[in-house]
Chain A
Amino acid sequence: MKQTISVLVENQAGVLNRITGLFSRRAFNIESLAVGVTDDKSVSRITIIVDSGNNVVEQVEKQLNKLVDVIKVRTLEEKNLIGRELIIIKVSATTKTRQDISNLCQIMGARIDDITSTSMTLELSDTPDRVDLFESLLRPFSILEVARTGVIAVQKGSGKI
């Protein structure tokens, strides 16, 4: 089962290294990991998606908590989180296919960032499921390049971790 762990850490050199090192040496598998600074410049938020049972996730949480650079750890409830991922995708596009791709973008709420005589570069920010869907719908047009950020997430409501 995919679970989303939100981690607040000291925004310092080497912290990410300590976290990823912990995952590899404890044999925990990371599905995705996204990092960015928060409103407090000294704190970064790392959103980690792991595909493991509850016991493993609980152990991941505890091991993360042992790191001195980790300020807070919380596993977000699936039904109670807002999770988004950004994809930037470059596809082959000719005058023949441009309109179809453009339609797809409109339906999915994606943006066209760049266009050339042979390609289009698109972006979409959405739930990972819809990002997957968007990517699969574009596959027939021949994908040239994909970059995805991995999910970032916060919990719903006024609460914070």
Chain B
Amino acid sequence: MLSGAQVLMESLQREHVTHIFGYAGATICPAVDALAAADIGYTLVRTEQNAGHMASGYARITGKPGVCMVTSGPGATNLITGIATAYMDSIPMVAITGQVQSYLLGRDIFQEVDITGAVAPFTKHSYLVKDAGNIPQIVKEAFLIASTGRQGPVLIDLPIDIQKQMVEPHYPDSVEIRGYKPSVKGNELQVRRVIQAISAAHRPLLCAGGGLFSAGGQADLEELAVTAGIPVVTTMMGLGLLPTDHPMNMGMIGAFGTPLANVALDTTDLLIIAGARAADRAISAPREIARRTKTVHIDVDPAEIGKNMFPTVPVVGNVKVILNQLLARHPKADTTDWLAELQPRRRKELQNTPPHPRTVGVDPAALMRGLGGWLDENACVCVDVGQNQIWAARYLPLRRGRFLTSGGLGTMGYSLPAALGVKVAQPERQTVVVCGDGSFQMSMNELATLCAMGADVKIVILENGVLGLVNQIQHSSYSGPFGVALTGSPDFSAVAAAYGISCGTASSNDELDKALDQMFGSPGPYLLTCTVDPDASTND
């Protein structure tokens, strides 16, 4: 006989879980106790939300569901933002929450919340376990649901008495869920229609999103782009699918994208959206585009077809599998003129300095380009939300690395915990955090976690003393800045020093090279604070 908590750990190990991010509390103690005896690593975070973000960073780098485990009540509610962030970006995650005794549910006892009810809008599925004998089946189902189809978070709520319940476990080899049958292969007829559309097109354009990372289809995208002669634009979630200077990469689309990418989007005669949902920030008027040009929409989630845009040819299934179905038919478009129009403009755009480089403080574009020069081939850059995100997306050159950011929910404070999740999975991988002084202060408590891990993460703070993007919006569309000054912020170098983290500053463009040189020359974690003009706008 084993306790429910022991069965949980054994079930997790059978799903090849090697690490859990969490925060202990009374109702999750039996599981934590079983974890101590199991062959699974553990990271204690400093607030539960960041357990979700760390699991997210871990999942995005490994392709396996990240696992986080917290206690009931406030532990569970704090985790909600982490879960919602993962849900919006389709990141596979299994969240485990402690719960009060099952026989006391519904009586509002100490640290009780209806967490399965609360997370219903942000999870693919959730379970409230009522019998420890069901744990092996539930865990297996949870991992299947989280990691297949359109990936996403699944929550398992475990009452403390169930964690203590003694059972004779039976571990199923596989599970069958009658209401869950995600599509994998694209319909052949639709695939043929795509091939025909490509051969007839003169200005085809691939628009690639985060779904391609989920499916592991980076190489397939590149092969399709190169062999069929189709240029590529990406969404923010698709940054890094192709190296920034790849001849077929025309940049990022959207309100915060690069001009040429949007020109390409406006003038294409066949838009092939792959693993992207045509959301407002990327494509502001999807129906307009669909009216004007032929569109193909490839997505694993049938509900994405027709949600924001009605495509000429929908193809539902795993985007990597579908790209291979296409490649097997050797698609080819005559795009000599189209590429001759785009490629020189792209080369020019990559060399362009922004029209109004900032002279007060460090110029954000120069910072991103300088930073790019120090990045390893496969560096992982975790970028926060706000102006820092837009500047990084626009100016940071990537090769075969990753650009991890909270694209869908726009959760401030995501970058540092996500980077720690990356470091747990791949300690040797160069990992850099880019954030603002606002977003950094949302999760700077995780510096302790960083120290505990001894993780070599380089943190770059763009310090302008305001919530930059809101400040910018208030200037352009409201009566002026209000409530955005980050008065009372600490000296970040002193904060770093308090944690024993090396640090440096750059307050002008002249100091930038030396500061970066110093940061990347130091072993271990480093915090670089770069002063940025508070009036700098992403529209400069």
- Partner-B contacts on A (CB < 8 A): 9-10, 14, 17-18, 21, 25, 55, 58-59, 62-63, 65-71
Q: Taking A62-B302, A63-B303, A66-B303 as contacts, is the C-beta distance between A14 and B179 under 8 angstroms?
A: no
Q: Please, which residues of chain B bring their CB within 8 A of the CB of A10?
A: 179
Residues 88-127 of B at the A interface (beta carbon under 8 Å): 116-117, 120-121, 124-125
Q: Taking A17-B120, A25-B121 as contacts, is the C-beta distance between A59 and B177 under 8 angstroms?
A: no
Q: Please, which residues of chain B bring their CB within 8 A of the CB of A17?
A: 117, 120
Question: Nearest CB to that of B145 among chain A residues?
Answer: A68
Q: How far is the CB of A79 from chain B (nearest CB, A)?
A: 25
Please report the total number of B residues contacting A with Cβ < 8 Å.
Answer: 19
CB of B306 within 8 A of CB of A70, answer no
Q: What are 6 A-B contacts with C-beta separation under 8 Å?
A: A18-B120, A55-B306, A58-B306, A62-B303, A66-B301, A69-B125
A-contact bits for B175-214, CB 8 A (1 contact / 0 none): 0011110000000000000000000000000000000000
Q: How far is the CB of B254 from chain A (nearest CB, A)?
A: 23
Q: Please, which residues of chain B bring their CB within 8 A of the CB of A70?
A: 179
Q: How far is the CA of A48 from the CA of B301 in the complex (A)?
A: 23
Question: Nearest CB to that of B304 among chain A residues?
Answer: A62
Q: Please, which residues of chain A bring their CB within 8 A of the CB of B120?
A: 17-18, 21
CB of A69 within 8 A of CB of B179, answer yes
Q: Taking A21-B121, A65-B303 as contacts, is the C-beta distance between A14 and B128 under 8 angstroms?
A: yes
Question: Nearest CB to that of A8 among chain B residues?
Answer: B179
Known contacts A21-B121, A59-B307; can you find 7 more A-B pairs with CB under 8 A?
A14-B128, A25-B121, A59-B306, A62-B303, A62-B307, A67-B125, A69-B179
Q: Please, which residues of chain B bring their CB within 8 A of the CB of A21?
A: 120-121
Q: Please, which residues of chain B bring their CB within 8 A of the CB of A14?
A: 116-117, 128
Q: How far is the CA of A62 from the CA of B303 in the complex (A)?
A: 5
CB of B307 within 8 A of CB of A67, answer no
Q: How far is the CB of A62 from chain B (nearest CB, A)?
A: 4
CB of B117 within 8 A of CB of A67, answer no
Q: Please, which residues of chain B bring their CB within 8 A of the CB of A58?
A: 306
Q: How far is the CA of A42 from the CA of B155 in the complex (A)?
A: 23
Q: Taking A14-B128, A17-B120, A25-B121 as contacts, is the C-beta distance between A59 and B179 under 8 angstroms?
A: no
Question: Nearest CB to that of A42 among chain B residues?
Answer: B178
